[in-house]
Amino acid sequence: MATVSAGRNAARKARYLMECQRTYFREPLTLVSGRGAYVTDDAGRQYLDFFAGIAVLLVGHSHPKVNAAVHDQIDKLTHTSTLYLTEPMLDLAERIVEAAPAGLDKVFFGNSGTEANEVAAALARHFTGAKDFIALDHAYHGRSMWTIGVSGLAAYRNFGAEPQHVAFAPNAYCYRCPLQLTYPSCGIACAKAIEDVIATQTSGGVAAFYAETIQGVGGIITPPPEYYTVVKEILDRHGILFIADEVQTAWGRLGRSMFGISDWGVTPDIVTSAKGLGNGFPISIVIARREVADAYKGPHINTFGGNPVSARAALATLEIVEEDGLAANAQRMGARLMDGLRELALRRPLIGDVRGRGLMIGVELVRDRATKEPAGAATEAVVDACRDAGLLVGRGGVHGSVIRIQPPLIITSAQVDDALAMFDTALAAAELVYPCA
Ligand code: PMP
């Protein structure tokens, strides 16, 4: 499906963009417009976007209300720096505190998930006076030197950033249990293992435990319902803060609460988020308990944090999520997708596991269901074949063998059914090249 501009853009990418800036597909896709759940490429071809700019566009591309808020703001004031206040920034802080679990009541604004996680670490160290952190295997928290250190995916620790004062605990990867146990008879042993990690891998002075509520890049690893209660009890006993990285899981994506972690019945000490909040405009937040927030006096300057344009985009996005009942839609559409994927699994042997919550769904592909041999190459072929069929999906997992489905929360039943049909076509195409055992 190459076009003249596709060839030209691939050449310009190779010439002008750094190698480290990866794009999907051997022939990169250049997008020129988007509306709702669809995007259009430079050849005029439309795709159903079920990855939403890496789990970002909660209310879809180019939403008229977000655009109107942004247009209004850019005609008034586009930037002030964090040295001055703006109404949109304060309105947003107020709105976020209202939406957050009780007890989380002070906000810091940044520009990316990475930056939010940096600030969260600073808060935890200042509040506790301790140095160490515990993170999870297969975690992804960003691309700065510090956040690489708390990332538990070898592929993303690729320039020698040595983790400093970071210990890793087994993740709740039930499909491939790191402890070779089976849920629920395991008794959530992976959560209990944190106790051993504290005793054997840290100095005893642990500032915080870091976890993505559901691991995204790591392959939509979805902890069982009891997991965080067990974790929190251990952390509380040791005076360790819980930092929930909700960069992907907040704002209704998981189908119920504004902060996904609420579904597990615990309240973290610090939450970070970004991605969907600005519906594509760069903005991130850290929200923390007042005494934790107050322990960090800074100064922590950032030039663009909470800028008024992104803040207006975020305010409009949150309003739409609420007024249009998008969390409930995420739950309904997520259930429909899950049912459809489980039905596909009956006749597509590539599918080893289907998991997730709301509209954060992972489909793990295997070469052989009995051995669970990861199907990394087939997964790449499926992502390519989805594109050919007119569907954009993501890829993740420690073996690169998980299809990530994280569409806008506005999707309809008809779009879910179209996506399932295209996914089926893509699986069939990949199974011809990569037959299962
Ligand atoms: N945390 C999580 C859970 C993420 O998924 C990501 C991005 N994929 C980040 C942090 C980093 O966010 P950003 O790319 O905005 O820096």
Task: Give the pLDDT confidence score for residue 198 in this predicted structure.
Answer: 98
CA–CA distance, 9 with 16 (Å, rounded to integer) = 10
Q: What's the pLDDT at 175?
A: 98
The CA-based diameter of the chain, rounded to the nearest angstrom, is 62
Q: Is the CB of 110 under 6 A from ligand 1?
A: no
Residue ranges in the chain whose pLDDT is less than 50 = none
Ligand 1 neighbourhood includes 247 CB (under 6 angstroms):
yes
Helices 227-238 + 189-201 axis angle, to 10: 30
CA of residue 427 to ligand 1 center, whole Å:
28
- Name the class of domain 66-323: alpha beta
Nearest CA to ligand 1 atom 13: 113
β-sheet bridge partners, residue 392: 49
> Taking a C-beta distance cutoff of 8 angstroms, is the pair 187, 227 a contact?
no
How many C-beta atoms lie closer than 10 Å to residue 344's C-beta? 18
Strands annotated E in 264-405: 270-273, 284-289, 351-357, 360-368, 373-374, 391-392, 394-396, 402-405
CA of 18 to the centre of ligand 1 (A): 20
Q: Quick one: 80 exposed, middle or buried, by C-beta within 10 A (0-12, 13-18, 19+)?
A: middle
Specify the pLDDT at position 4. 61
Quote the pLDDT of residue 161. Answer: 65
Q: Does residue 272 have its Cβ closer than 6 Å to ligand 1?
A: no
403: CA distance to ligand 1 center in Å?
A: 17
Q: Ligand 1: which of 51, 56, 111, 141 to mutate, judged by most atoms within 8 Å of the beta carbon?
A: 141
Nearest 5°: the CA angle 223, 192, 237 is 110
Average pLDDT, the chain: 96
> Strand, coil or helix: what is 240?
coil
CATH superfamily of 2-59+325-433: Aspartate Aminotransferase, domain 1 (3.90.1150.10)
pLDDT of 6 reads 76
For ligand 1, say whether the CB of 217 is within 6 Å of any of its atoms: yes
pLDDT computed for residue 2 by the predictor: 54
pTM recorded for the entire structure = 0.97
Strands 373-374 vs 360-368: parallel, antiparallel or unpaired: antiparallel
What distance in angstroms lies between residue 344's CA and the mean position of ligand 1's atoms? 30
Is it true that 2-59+325-433 and 66-323 share their CATH fold? no
pLDDT of res. 311: 98
Give the Å distance between the CA of 90 and the centre of ligand 1: 24
Strand partners, 286: 108, 272
The pLDDT tens digits of the residues spanning 17-34 come to: 999 888 999 889 999 999
pLDDT for res 11: 93
Q: What is the DSSP letter of 62?
A: T
Distance 396 CA to ligand 1 centre (A): 13
What digits encode the pLDDT tens for the residues 390-399? Answer: 999 999 999 9
CA distance 258 to 231: 21
What DSSP designation does 245 have?
E
109/91 Cα distance (integer angstroms): 12
Domains of the chain: which residue ranges?
2-59+325-433, 66-323
HSE toward the beta carbon, residue 153, CA cutoff 13 A:
19
Angstrom distance (rounded) from CA 430 to CA 426: 6
Q: Is 246 in the pocket of ligand 1 (CB under 6 A)?
A: no
- In angstroms, the CA 90 to CA 107 distance is 10
